[in-house]
Amino acid sequence: MAQISTEEQREKLDRAQDILQYRFNNEQYLLSAITHPSAIEGKPVKYSYERLEFLGDSILGAVVADAAFHAYPELDEGGLTRIKVSLVSGASLSHVAEDLGFADFIIFGQSEQGTGRRGLHSALENVYESVVAALYLDGGMEPVKEFITRTLITSMSEEMAREPENPKSALQEKLQEEGITPTYKLVETQGPPHDRTFITQVYAGLQELASGVGRTKKESESQAAASALDKLLGITPEVLQAKEAQRAARQEQKAQAKAAKAAAKAERAALKKSKKEAARGGDA
């Protein structure tokens, strides 16, 4: 496990514990959690950044799933899954970590510092998960649930259960009205193997529409499509949500109409049965 040996480590450990609102019995867990892989290159460690991230990801998913399950008893598996995915997505975790001030205590190595910390976005996400693991190893589930509830669960809403419209599908549908099929081109890959960032451009024919950045090729393509919709076609995320709401309303209307039709059919059957019974009574 990483050893506390520098003034920077001491300062960042103190800062991290202030932000986390938790004092560690074993600070070695926290030190490993906030140390970027670039800062331990060539140094053997028992609990590395990646190991803690692996554990924290599983614990985080379980806590969020439990919270959503009990908060929304009427939602089906699909809706609960969408809430969970929305909350634990890379964008969500990095945003929360950034707001909390995680960037102030992450320990980077010289190789990463020389790049201007271009991997900060993914580092924020990873450190959030690693911190969850460190809290669990040091204090069990109680501090873990307190931390996740305070920083993440408060953002949970039933709106997250809606099935979002895929930006790539929306862009393709829009462009195909003019007989154009969008194409995507990976133009740049940044960062070391353990912390890749992909940049993709989307084209309509030979015309570049927009570019997107993501931790995976798929995410960068999705971001490029969303930017193209926003920039050139005037379709913002709010418009996409409105379209989804309209679709949900139409489905609800269809369901109500189907229920009304079934009720009318049942009423006619009951009336027919009543008339038959009345007729048999008259014959008697």
Q: How far apart are CA 130 and CA 137, in angstroms?
A: 11
- Does 129 qualify as catalytic in the annotation? yes
Exposed, middle or buried: residue 271 (CB in 10 Å: 0-12, 13-18, 19+)? exposed
Nearest to 117 by CA among 135, 94, 99: 94
204: enclosing H helix or E strand: strand 197-204
Q: How far does CA 134 lie from the centroid of its chain?
A: 21
Nearest to 26 by CA among 63, 52, 53: 52
Q: What b/e readout covers 166-188, taking b as 16+ CB neighbours within 10 angstroms? A: ebbebbeebbeeeeeebebeeee
Classify the C-alpha dihedral 202-188-93-76 as positive or negative: positive
Question: Which of the following is catalytic: 53, 112, 125, 129?
Answer: 129
Contacts of 153 (CB under 8 A, 6+ apart): 63, 64, 67, 87
Question: Which of the following is catalytic: 27, 53, 57, 125?
Answer: 57
Angle made by CA atoms 31, 114, 189, in degrees to the nearest 5: 100
- Does 283 qualify as catalytic in the annotation? no
Please tell me the total number of residues recorded for the chain in this structure: 284
Dihedral (Cα; 159, 160, 165, 171), 10-degree rounding: 100
- Strand 197-204: give its sheet, edge to edge: 182-190, 197-204, 207-214
User: Which residues does the annotation mark as catalytic?
Assistant: 57, 129
